[in-house]
Chains A and B, each alone.
Chain A
Amino acid sequence: MNWRSIWAIARKDLKEVRQNKAAWAPAIIVPLVFAVIMPLAFIILPQVIPVEDVQRELGDMDTLIRNMPPTLKAIFDDKSLEQMFIIYMAGFMLAPMFLIMPLMFSSVVGSDSFVGERERKTMEALLYAPTSDMELFLGKVLAAVLPAIGISWLTYMVYALVVNAASFPLFGGLWFPLAPWWLMMFWLTPALAVLGISATVLISSRVKTFMEAYQMSASLVVLVLALMLGQVSGVLILGFWTVMLVGLMVWMVDAALIYVAVSNFKRSSLVAKL
């Protein structure tokens, strides 16, 4: 395996994506909304509106807290209404939103890398390069997965800073991230980044344009919406073991998709689509 070639392909793809506004614009806007604007809104809100109004929100919070395992429930012990609302929103309700990022970024870069290359007719010259099919595949996958994970982690960091800083007057200390968030960052986020790219590779063999591939792979966001609904309804709380289990399932799906994607990623099939 020639890693110099693999990194060259990954670097080249990233350079190209950087020049494609349609591809990188979401990479700036989405983290900004998730990591800064939304937490600020939910943290500042209970500090400026009457506590009674927050109290009314307790109905929803009750469902969530009632279904929590004791370890998570303990987080809410001895907290004021305002503090409970902030933990509820910033610590639980917004959590699934962060899972959109690795999926979205890896499928955006993957679409540009796999389908965009064919659309721009640059694939043929690449196929004539003295690299193996696996090196080509790995280079393109890394170009999608690494920045997706990196940007997601950076967003988590900014989110943690914003949440702790904005809620400091109320809490008088640092309380975020909660335990399940660590697992989300280092277990579930990489799994979803790989899911995004492996699904995109499979989709890319059936579509002709970057936008088609992007739109089709974006439908994976439905998975994250399902997690959100589960959490809002109190059916599926993103606690430690839930995240662990969901992560395991995603990694298993990843393994199957990657196996199929690698089997199909052959020069002879790629050249036939030129």
Chain B
Amino acid sequence: MTHPIIEVTNLQRTFGANRAVDGMTFHVEPGEVFGLLGPNGAGKTTSVRLLNGILPPSGGTMRVFGLDPATQGELVRRQTGVLTETPSHYERLSARENLEFFGTLTGIPAADLPRRVDELLSFFELAHRADDKVETFSKGMKQRLALARALIHQPPLLFLDEPTSGLDPEAAQQVNDLIANLGRRNGQTVILATHNLLDAQRLCDRVAILNKGRILALGSLKELARKLWPVTWVDVTLFNGASAESASVSIQAIRGVRQVSVGKDSLAIQVEAEEIIPRVVSALAANQIPILKVNPRDYTLEDIYFALQAGEA
């Protein structure tokens, strides 16, 4: 049985009257890509700072690798890598000098450091500019260097705060591919703080949707969709000439089918759960009704997010 890498219970952080984190409770399993989603000021960056022990909490408990970041921050940070929202570098130093500096701080032995730096520079396609000052780099290159910096000590837990912010689509794609591979290839756990819902939908196993420091919903896309919309719709398009009316009659008696709307050559069927859909298809086939397409309606993270934020408003 694996233990959660992060366990947070009723976590709170206030700045004066502002509750930046207001009673968050969640856990993150090893190897997960876990999203913290929300608008600016939702508490994403503050949560990352709390979990890395650079801010003390105002209340609640948190454990990262079983350690308390508030009192054992240094030990926690040895095992975490953080890509900050504004990934600034020492612009007057070269890419290599930047990585060597952070590699030293993270405790990589001096004998191993040059090899590790070269590996990362090659992996992030920066080797040809390794000794150039960072101030001459493009934004995409700087973002890749920031990722290399976060990964230099091969931390088992990575915090990525808006990793594709300000990148062109090609650079964003590269970064997203890398994040997708981190968990799969290295077994690293990733906390992705973002308001880019498409990225989150593509990358995250589970998400916590935040607003004003509180978690509005927590779970996988499917779980969240089911919580919000307990019924599922499936659209069935019939082959040319088939009678939608007779098709409707043949499925209405199936248990779990709640409602059928008949179109010209299509049906919109409301079912209690996705498991009902194969039964619907079997019934249509048994009644010799030719089917062109079966299309269960998917909810996107965007649908869920805006439904939740609208409910909050």
A12 to B99, CA, bound (A): 11
A36 to B185, CA, bound (A): 63
Q: A5-B104, A5-B105, A130-B74 are in contact. Are A268 and B55 (CB under 8 A)?
A: yes
How many A residues are at the interface, by size bracket? 20 to 34
User: With a CB–CB cut-off of 8 A, which chain B residues contact A127?
Assistant: 54
Among B117-160, those with CB < 8 Å from A are: 146, 149
Q: A19-B92, A268-B56, A271-B49 are in contact. Are A125 and B102 (CB under 8 A)?
A: yes
Q: Is the CB of B106 within 8 A of A129?
A: yes
Q: A5-B104, A8-B105, A128-B84 are in contact. Are A267 and B93 (CB under 8 A)?
A: no
Q: A125-B102, A132-B74, A271-B54 are in contact. Are A16 and B93 (CB under 8 A)?
A: yes
User: With a CB–CB cut-off of 8 A, which chain B residues contact A268?
Assistant: 54-56
Q: A16-B92, A19-B92 are in contact. Are A121 and B86 (CB under 8 A)?
A: yes
B interface size (C-beta, 8 A): 33
List the 10 closest pairs (A to B, CB-CB), nearest first: A19-B92, A130-B77, A121-B88, A8-B104, A129-B105, A130-B78, A128-B82, A267-B54, A122-B88, A12-B101
B90 contact from A122, A124, A267, Cβ within 8 A? A122
Q: Is the CB of B88 within 8 A of A120?
A: yes
Q: Is the CB of B88 within 8 A of A125?
A: yes
User: With a CB–CB cut-off of 8 A, which chain A residues contact B73?
Assistant: 267
User: With a CB–CB cut-off of 8 A, which chain A residues contact B92?
Assistant: 15-16, 19-20
Q: Which residues of B contact A (CB under 8 A)?
A: 15, 49, 52-56, 73-75, 77-78, 80, 82, 84, 86-93, 97, 101-102, 104-107, 110, 146, 149
Q: Is the CB of B93 within 8 A of A15?
A: yes
A129 to B53, CA, bound (A): 11
A74 to B125, CA, bound (A): 72
How many Å from the CB of A210 to the closest CB on chain B? 13
Is A63's CB within 8 Å of the partner chain B?
A: no
User: With a CB–CB cut-off of 8 A, which chain B residues contact A131?
Assistant: 74, 105
B101 contact from A2, A8, A267, A272, Cβ within 8 A? A8
User: With a CB–CB cut-off of 8 A, which chain B residues contact A122?
Assistant: 88-90
Closest to A9 in B: B105
Binary CB contact string for chain A from 151 to 190 against chain B (1 if under 8 A, 0 otherwise): 0000000000000000000000000000000000000000
Is A56's CB within 8 Å of the partner chain B?
A: no
Q: Is the CB of A124 within 8 A of B56?
A: no
A192 to B75, CA, bound (A): 36
> What 5 new A-B contacts, CB under 8 Å, besides A12-B90, A267-B73?
A4-B104, A124-B86, A128-B77, A130-B78, A131-B74
A124 to B88, CA, bound (A): 8
A127 to B77, CA, bound (A): 10
How many Å from the CB of B77 to the closest CB on chain A? 4
Q: Is the interface of A mostly helix, strand, loop or mixed?
A: helix
How many Å from the CB of B50 to the closest CB on chain A? 10
How many Å from the CB of A77 to the closest CB on chain B? 55
> What are 21 sample pairs from A and B whose C-beta atoms fall under 8 A apart?
A12-B97, A16-B90, A16-B92, A121-B86, A121-B88, A124-B84, A124-B86, A124-B88, A125-B82, A125-B87, A125-B88, A127-B54, A128-B80, A128-B84, A130-B75, A130-B105, A131-B74, A131-B105, A267-B53, A271-B54, A271-B55
User: With a CB–CB cut-off of 8 A, which chain B residues contact A120?
Assistant: 88, 90-91
User: With a CB–CB cut-off of 8 A, which chain A residues contact B97?
Assistant: 12, 15
A130 to B97, CA, bound (A): 18
Closest to A139 in B: B105
A130 contact from B15, B89, B93, B106, Cβ within 8 A? B106
A15 to B52, CA, bound (A): 28
Among A117-145, those with CB < 8 Å from B are: 120-122, 124-125, 127-132
User: With a CB–CB cut-off of 8 A, which chain B residues contact A132?
Assistant: 74
Q: Is the CB of B149 within 8 A of A125?
A: yes
Binary CB contact string for chain A from 257 to 274 against chain B (1 if under 8 A, 0 otherwise): 000000000011001100
User: With a CB–CB cut-off of 8 A, which chain A residues contact B102?
Assistant: 125, 129
How many Å from the CB of B286 to the closest CB on chain A? 61
A268 to B73, CA, bound (A): 11
User: With a CB–CB cut-off of 8 A, which chain B residues contact A8?
Assistant: 101, 104-105
A19 to B82, CA, bound (A): 27
User: With a CB–CB cut-off of 8 A, which chain A residues contact B146?
Assistant: 125
